[in-house]
Amino acid sequence: MGSARPRRLCPPRTGTQRGSYNSHINRAQVRPPSGETVSDERARRLSPPLRRALPWLIAALLLTTFGLPSAAAVTHLPTFPMIGVAHPEAKNSTTTVNLTDAPAFNPRSVSASAGGTLSVHLVNLGAFNHTFTLSKLPNVALSTASTPAQLTSFFAKNGSLANVSVAPGGTAWANVTFNASVGGDSFEFVSLVPYQFQAGMWGFVNLTASGPGLELMENTTDNYQFIPDVLYAASPIHFPLVLDVLVTNTGSLGHTFTVSPLSNYTLFPDNFSTTFATNPPLVNQPIGSGAGTTAWANLTVRAPGVYQYICTISGHFGNGMTGLLYVGVVPPPPPPPVSTAVVESWVLVGSAVLLGVGVLIALVAAYTGRFPAKPPSDEHHY
């Protein structure tokens, strides 16, 4: 065991050996150079055990004062924004229109969203040249009795949103952006190759949405919370405003996302159903149970204002499950984030444990001279 290990006798150290400098100096005899302060001088007045314990105590205190709260703060960084801000929905769409020698467009009805870009993939399936020429004038159906010259002059006068010629067997793209104000409008497209339009080669782009929709994100929790509990759709240019709220359930309980139709009106847990009986909610979307379940709550808001939303599941609103939807009204700034990390119980317990460990180390260090205790060594120089 220990006796198997040869105990070295201490050879006289040379200057190149590690530790030789310190081990040959009796610290108590070192005098500070004049004019310089040496902190050791003050520490020497403390009792030696206390002096040895001091660094450990300081380390333990530093760790408990800064280390744990920092760790706690990091783990408590907000995962969700305080205010959910609406952003325009992607209203872009892609569709294929075949051009045939019938002559015809197939399909002859294409739907697109106002405020979005429509990308039409044109495929000429025939042996003749065709054009895809989209009128700039909304809600005008051209007469098939018009001559090729009249058709050409109509487009020369009113302009076109797209005018693409597609060779036999060829393909091409027509990309058209519709501004937000043309919702509900229809635009005719024709082939300008003489007599194709007259023979039936025409169709319409129908713009479905009344305006560009705005998208919002919302979360529900098992703590009866909407996160965020403030949603903001900044000054929309267009009413009625279509809002599509993607609600994600982060917990296991089922909920609803129910928006009051009354602006600047406060609902209460004991009277909201009475209110909704005469004023149906703008949307009453069930959010399925189970974490990760999502549902779209689609609603149309007719005027700016602040609309309260709640969960209508019994007891949830009473437990605080409500929020405010600001449409064209700027919400008050959220309060500065207050870290509650320092009052978290695990932080307090952790701090106490660490402090205890620090004190213990300090005590051991105080009585052994160092921690871990110095291994038995024959490298002494007395």
Is the Cβ of residue 191 or residue 225 nearer to Cu ion in the bound state? 225
Binding positions for Cu ion, 340-369, rule CB under 5 A: none
Tell me how far, at minimum, the Cβ of 248 lies from Cu ion, in Å. 13
Is the Cβ of residue 321 or residue 347 nearer to Cu ion in the bound state? 321
Q: Which residues contact 104 (CB under 8 A, 6 or more apart)?
A: 200, 201
Three-state secondary structure string covering 157-180 = HHCEEEEEEECCCCEEEEEEECCH
Is the Cβ of residue 129 or residue 285 nearer to Cu ion in the bound state? 285
Per-residue b or e along 205-217, where b marks 16 or more CB atoms closer than 10 Å to that residue's CB: bebebbbbbbbbb
From residue 59, give the alpha-carbon distance in Å to each of 39, 65, 362, 372: 18, 10, 10, 15
Which two three-digit tokens encode residue 52?
């040895």
Question: Taking CB under 5 A as the rule, does residue 225 contact Cu ion?
Answer: no
Question: Taking CB under 5 A as the rule, does residue 130 contact Cu ion?
Answer: no
- Judging by DSSP bridges, how do beta strands 255-263 and 241-249 pair with one another? unpaired
Is the Cβ of residue 36 or residue 270 nearer to Cu ion in the bound state? 270
The region of 110-118, 241-249, 251-259, 299-307 touching Cu ion under the rule CB under 5 A is 251-259
CB atoms within 10 A of CB 171: 13
User: For residues 331 and 308, what is the distance between their CA atoms, to the nearest angstrom?
Assistant: 13
C-beta of residue 307 within 8 angstroms of C-beta of residue 260:
yes
Question: Taking CB under 5 A as the rule, does residue 313 contact Cu ion?
Answer: yes
The region of 47-55, 117-125, 179-187, 308-316 touching Cu ion under the rule CB under 5 A is 308-316
Tell me how far, at minimum, the Cβ of 307 lies from Cu ion, in Å. 18
From residue 194, give the alpha-carbon distance in Å to each of 37, 154, 222: 103, 14, 67
CB atoms within 10 A of CB 58: 12
Binding positions for Cu ion, 320-339, rule CB under 5 A: 321
The region of 79-87, 108-116, 238-246, 307-315 touching Cu ion under the rule CB under 5 A is 307-315
The region of 7-15, 67-75, 131-139, 247-255 touching Cu ion under the rule CB under 5 A is 247-255
Tell me how far, at minimum, the Cβ of 256 lies from Cu ion, in Å. 6
The region of 44-52, 84-92, 209-217, 311-319 touching Cu ion under the rule CB under 5 A is 311-319
Tell me how far, at minimum, the Cβ of 116 lies from Cu ion, in Å. 34
Tell me how far, at minimum, the Cβ of 311 lies from Cu ion, in Å. 3
> Of 297, 279, 203, whose CA–CA distance to 243 is shortest?
297
Tell me how far, at minimum, the Cβ of 325 lies from Cu ion, in Å. 17
User: For residues 55 and 49, what is the distance between their CA atoms, to the nearest angstrom?
Assistant: 11
Is the Cβ of residue 227 or residue 242 nearer to Cu ion in the bound state? 227
Judged by CB under 5 A, the residue of 190, 316, 325, 358 near Cu ion is 316
The residue behind tokens 């060829």 is 170
C-beta of residue 325 within 8 angstroms of C-beta of residue 309:
yes
Question: Taking CB under 5 A as the rule, does residue 226 contact Cu ion?
Answer: no
Question: Taking CB under 5 A as the rule, does residue 255 contact Cu ion?
Answer: yes
Is the Cβ of residue 164 or residue 313 nearer to Cu ion in the bound state? 313
Question: Taking CB under 5 A as the rule, does residue 311 contact Cu ion?
Answer: yes
Binding positions for Cu ion, 256-295, rule CB under 5 A: none
CB atoms within 10 A of CB 309: 26
Residues that bind Cu ion (CB under 5 A): 255, 311, 313, 316, 321
